[in-house]
Amino acid sequence: MPQSRRILTYAIAAAAAVTAGIALPPGAAAAAPPAATSDFNGDGYADLAVGVPDGTVDGRAGAGYVNVVRGGPRGVGAHGSIRVTQATPEVPGTPEAGDRFGASVALTDLNGDGIAELLAGAPGEDVTDRGRDAGTVLVVGGSRTGPGPGSTVLTGPSPSAAYGTSVAAAHLTGGDNKTIVIGGTDKVVARVIQGEDSLVTTVVAAPMGGRAPALATGDFDSDGTADLAVAYWTAGRPHTQSHVRLWKWDAERSAFANFWNTDNAGVTALAAGDFDGDGRDDLALGECREIADENIDDPCGPERLAKGGGIHIHYGSRAGGSFGSRAQTLNQDTAGVPGAAEDGDRFGAALAVADVNRDGRDDLVAGAPGEAIGSKAEAGAAWLLRGGAKGLLDAGGRADSVAWNQDTPGVPGVAEAGDAFGAATATADHDADRVPDVTVGAPGENASLGAAWLLPKGSAGGSLAFSPRTLGLPYLSTAQKYGNPLTSR
């Protein structure tokens, strides 16, 4: 990163409405927001945001960008895309080497006008008077004509704070406006937007092992308002600890209150969904492994199911009940899950949720970027694990699932060592046929240029691949690692 510091200055378009200091496109005064959308260009189709933090911008390696891939009648990958960088007009800042803009991404309708805004983290951003790698999260408005006004959501307070390593947004306070949650170095903070006002509050501060805290949102206590799930862990720095914690908004204290924990579980990914169709949100812990020095409470289920990466699911309970008292665990040695559990598979390192088969129960998409395909180490794979009456496993402990990799019939490409297919996953109805589609990223594809695959309706049939090359993006000779992270829905 350059040694120079700078202050982020930008003009806010006069027509843009402003919610608590965050510039949003016209429509912010709309009433209660509709269901979440990832339609960035307002054409009625869900789009896909691909973060490319390793991408080169204006010759600056690792400045990073976000590629918003348009949905349409043929899904994503066939209708073009928009490249958003800090050189894009009205996006705050300037692209500099190592900014890593796009390290975290979210497409979410913040103001309820039916058009999604883009949230993008740049944890390597240097900020004047705050220091090197203070980090920042930016919001960029969507519109029919391209990226709209942008502004800064929050910048890190000090050197190496690395705000923007992870990001999420949801209606966490019960109001019309969404709360933006930001992960940084050893900290998770939230910008709570309430009408024309906002406040910034720390959710949790603790050693996190230098990793981005995993974030997910869902109504885990069945009170009608979304809650926040946070996972983090560290080993021996300064001591071994690992936690998955649930937080809810306490209006009286104007702060987040912790109401549920499972300790000693090291988790790479989190995802919320109603896997058993009972109307209550469940929480999936991806690539769950026990970190504690002693076996205290089997936080990831039976230890044998952690081999190669295990997925541990805590199921929701009725209002006033105990969340997570019912749990299931599975890995590649579970009946009905294709493959075999092997060390280094990283099963569950990426998770996404949608009701792909439209049976009223959510399904879980899980990636395993370390999976070997034949002799091809770390070629990667992904699974669709279907929900059922008992959840992701039936009464006999069997799963209903299908797996994909680049050697699967109908899936373009060839599995090669290091492709890391399954490093990221996302779901959305990109062709507006009311059936969710699945997207899988492979940042190691083509000597780490990277690529992503659309699996329409969660099937290999009709699938297609897209990459910086097919989308006409620049710097095709560099290792952009396109395809991780992904976000949609």
pLDDT tens digits along 395-442: 999 999 999 999 999 999 999 999 999 999 999 999 999 999 999 999
In the predicted structure, residue 25 carries a pLDDT above the cut 80? no
Distances (CA, A) of 401 to 222, 284, 338, 412: 28, 16, 7, 21
For residues 89-96, give the mean pLDDT.
94
For position 11, what pLDDT does the model report? 23
For residues 197 and 22, the model is more confident at: 197
Q: Which of 66, 60, 36 is nearest to 484 (CA)?
A: 66
Predicted confidence (pLDDT) per residue in 300-314, tens digit: 999 899 999 999 999
Rounded CA separation 294/106 (Å): 37
Q: Count other C-beta atoms under 10 Å from residue 409's C-beta.
A: 7
For residues 176-191, give the mean pLDDT.
95
Q: Are 192 and 256 in contact (CB under 8 A)?
A: no
pTM of the predicted structure, to 2 decimals: 0.92
In the predicted structure, residue 188 carries a pLDDT above the cut 90? yes
Rounded CA separation 381/365 (Å): 11
For position 146, what pLDDT does the model report? 85
Q: Which of 204, 207, 200 is nearest to 179 (CA)?
A: 200
Band of residue 137 on the pLDDT scale cut at 50, 70, 90 = very high
Distances (CA, A) of 7 to 65, 94, 135, 195, 420: 20, 10, 12, 27, 37
Band of residue 107 on the pLDDT scale cut at 50, 70, 90 = very high
Predicted confidence (pLDDT) per residue in 435-488, tens digit: 999 999 999 999 999 999 999 999 999 999 999 999 999 999 999 999 999 998
Q: Are 304 and 280 in contact (CB under 8 A)?
A: no
First to last CA, the chain: 33
For position 6, what pLDDT does the model report? 26
**DSSP strand pairing (363-368 vs 381-385):** antiparallel
Band of residue 62 on the pLDDT scale cut at 50, 70, 90 = very high
For position 4, what pLDDT does the model report? 28
Rounded CA separation 208/291 (Å): 13
Band of residue 145 on the pLDDT scale cut at 50, 70, 90 = confident
Residue 472's contacts (CB-CB under 8 Å, 6 or more residues apart) are: none
Percent of the chain with pLDDT over 70: 91
